[in-house]
Amino acid sequence: MDVVSPHHRLVIALVLALALAGFPRSGAAAESAAPRRILIRAGHVLDVHNGNEAADQTIIVSGDSITAIGATSATPKQPEDEEIDLHDMTVLPGLIDVHTHLTMDSNFDPYHELSTSVAKSALIGAHNARITLQAGFTSVRNVHAEGYADVDLRDAINAGLIPGPHMQVSGPALGITGGHCDENLLPIQYHLQGGGVADGIEAVQHKVRETIKYGADLIKICATGGVLSKGDDPQASQYTLEELKAIVADAHRLGRKVAAHAHGAQGILWATQAGVDSIEHGSYMNDEDIAAMKAHGTYFVPTAYLIDWMQTNGQLPAFYLQKMKDVSAVEKAGAKKAIAAHVKVALGTDAAVYPHGLNAHELEVYVDQFGMSPLAAIQTGTLNAADLMGWSDKAGALDPGKWADIIAVRGDPLHDVKILQHVAFVMKSGVIYKGGPSAPAAGDPGT
């Protein structure tokens, strides 16, 4: 009897979801039927490099890329061109979220967590990928998914089976036995362990190589305890400095960046000294951490809006709730200090802790609570995020030669960054997913 591999089962499940949900076949199929050029007639085009908002501009898209930007008056329509009328909108590059969990949802009941299979998480990911894309986020890093469900999700999106953002994925996050990235909800007789658990230098080196073998674009590690996990302390460092150095050395040698979940000050410092590329959360960071991050050029990913959302909407089990309150009491103060010290910041949300599609609320926190200018906040989700992902040649700005990842809003986001919570037009790689004639019908999820 033939045996279907877990990887193939996930792909089959995603294809079935596509057929049942009636998702439009975007991607390559849409591109093959498209005119030679698409002319996006913009009211204003935001240059995220400098904040200029040139009026009456046309962005020329050919295939999946931007080929030119110029005055509309100097860009006449040719017979085979398609025109997109955005004359009453501000156009800017698609946003980037470097800390998402597309294969997870915001239900933290322990039974729900334990009863969600890898295949089901992939289907959840297909749903959330579409919502995220239609919210204006055309690229994401997915930092942790059991069973490599995010690898299958990324590959299904790239194959044009389902709509979703460009993805970099980590597969299962590396963590210590009993730590934040282990599975601690069941008693000993089940012997359940997280897929990324590894202890000791040789073991973590093997795990880095294993996750890369099975498709990871980056390595996610848990340098400290966390909030939404049982039995650990967010302030406690988990991996040793030597283990962290071994992880980073192998990851970088093999061409992968490292994102470190880190709440506690010691874990932040050790992860930074080990050479990780980004510190995620950073709740208890102190002056020594900030100085080290500046010295190493380490990015800070605040994941700040989740605190506001949790305070008004969160429903957590008791063994998560107190940790959430403790972290929420200190996290923003550390973030403000790091931003004031000019630590590099990239936009990350931890979407799944709150519902997917609300990602742009993170920008409002950066402006209204952290004191960033709207342009600086937008740069965290464009130029900075692309730099952290190693995609500056592909994404993060409306520059010729980069992907045609383009969004539009009604109004000026440099005057009110909150309007980015209501994106009216989304194009990814030259394919329109929202607000155009070939986009999904109004009323579809995420519109």
Active site residues: 220, 350
C-alpha to C-alpha distance for 290 and 328, rounded to whole angstroms: 19
Beta bridge partners of 148: none
C-alpha to C-alpha distance for 191 and 53, rounded to whole angstroms: 58
Beta-carbon contacts of 392 under 8 Å, excluding residues fewer than 6 positions away, are 383, 386
The continuous run of DSSP H or E covering 265 comes out as helix 265-274
DSSP sequence for 341-408: TT--B-----BTSS-TT-TTHHHHHHHHTT---HHHHHHHTTHHHHHHHT-TTTSSS--TTSB--EEE
Query: Would you state the structure tokens that stand for residue 356, as one six-digit string?
Result: 């997917």
Q: Which of 191, 193, 175, 183 is nearest to 110 (CA)?
A: 183
- 8-state DSSP, 436: S
DSSP sequence for 222-263: E-B--SSSSS--TTSB-S-HHHHHHHHHHHHHTT-EEEEEE-
C-alpha to C-alpha distance for 163 and 168, rounded to whole angstroms: 15
The continuous run of DSSP H or E covering 127 comes out as helix 118-134
Q: Are 395 and 381 in contact (CB under 8 A)?
A: no
- Give the full edge-to-edge strand order of the sheet including 137-142: 95-100, 137-142, 166-169
C-alpha to C-alpha distance for 244 and 223, rounded to whole angstroms: 8
DSSP sequence for 194-231: -TTB--SHHHHHHHHHHHHHTT-SEEEEE-B--SSSSS
C-alpha to C-alpha distance for 197 and 239, rounded to whole angstroms: 11
- Find the helix packing angle between 241-253 and 201-213, rounded to 10°: 30
Four-residue CA torsion sign, 261, 267, 269, 270: negative
Q: Is 268 helix (H, G, I), strand (E, B) or coil?
A: helix
